[in-house]
Amino acid sequence: MTASRDAVVTAVVFDLGGVLTGSPMTAFGAYEAEAGLPDGLVRRLSSSHPDANAWARYERGELDVAGFRAAFEAEAAAAGYTVDAGRVLAALAGELRPAMVGAVRRLRSAGVPLALLSNNVAPMPRTGPLGELLGLFDAVVESSVEGVRKPEPAIYSRTLERLSTAAGRPVAATDCGYLDDLGINLKPARAMGFRTLKVIEPGAALAELSVLTGLDLATDPADGGQR
């Protein structure tokens, strides 16, 4: 499979949680319902003071697990709620989405430079199904390793640098499609020139990415069916 001459982008950057895996927001909602907390509380806490809150500091590697739990629970208490930060962290694990993984494999087979750009709290394992997936990317950029996080512009620039090195040619923001499930992360990328796709439903995102890359990423070649 090769990209058509009508391709708009020649490289693709993927987020992990909410794109390649199920969204942690679903698991956050389940915990909130179980604990009798307002729907969306975890999201609101994580988006308040986004450059300096517990999430931001944890994803930049400035806090360890104990430090994050203490800071996040204190932020919740200041807002009038009792939250178990351990339960919140447990909700971060999501199942891989087969349709998205299949699209990554087809992009890889077509020779499209690929990067994974993730805000995370610890380096991702290079073993098991996730490790196998990471091996398909030319560059893996993790906030916990880099000391910067989305939506800080520096992490997008760093991703372009890594992609350029791997591709052996300059890769500009305007060359790249970028998939993320959070608008706050897409906004700075779009300002830099990335072609941004907000992932709400995987099938719709893959249909849009197919148009941008000139590749059929929404159909499973193994069975000819729609993903």
What's the pLDDT score for residue 91?
84
CA distance 162 to 147: 16
What's the pLDDT score for residue 220?
63
What's the pLDDT score for residue 225?
42
Enter the DSSP assignment of 41: H
Reported in sequence order, the residue ranges of 99-213 that DSSP labels E, i.e. its strands, are 114-118, 139-142, 176-180, 195-198
The residue ranges of the chain whose pLDDT is under 50 are 223-227
Domain ranges within the chain, ordered by starting residue: 11-22+94-213, 24-90
Q: Which fold has domain 24-90?
A: DNA polymerase; domain 1 (1.10.150)
What's the pLDDT score for residue 3?
52
What's the pLDDT score for residue 10?
96
What's the pLDDT score for residue 49?
87
What's the pLDDT score for residue 54?
96
Segment 97-137, tens digit of pLDDT: 999 999 999 999 999 999 999 999 989 989 999 999 999 99
What's the pLDDT score for residue 2?
53
Neighbours of 203 (CB within 10 A): 12
11-22+94-213 with 24-90: one CATH topology? Answer: no
Class of domain 11-22+94-213: alpha beta
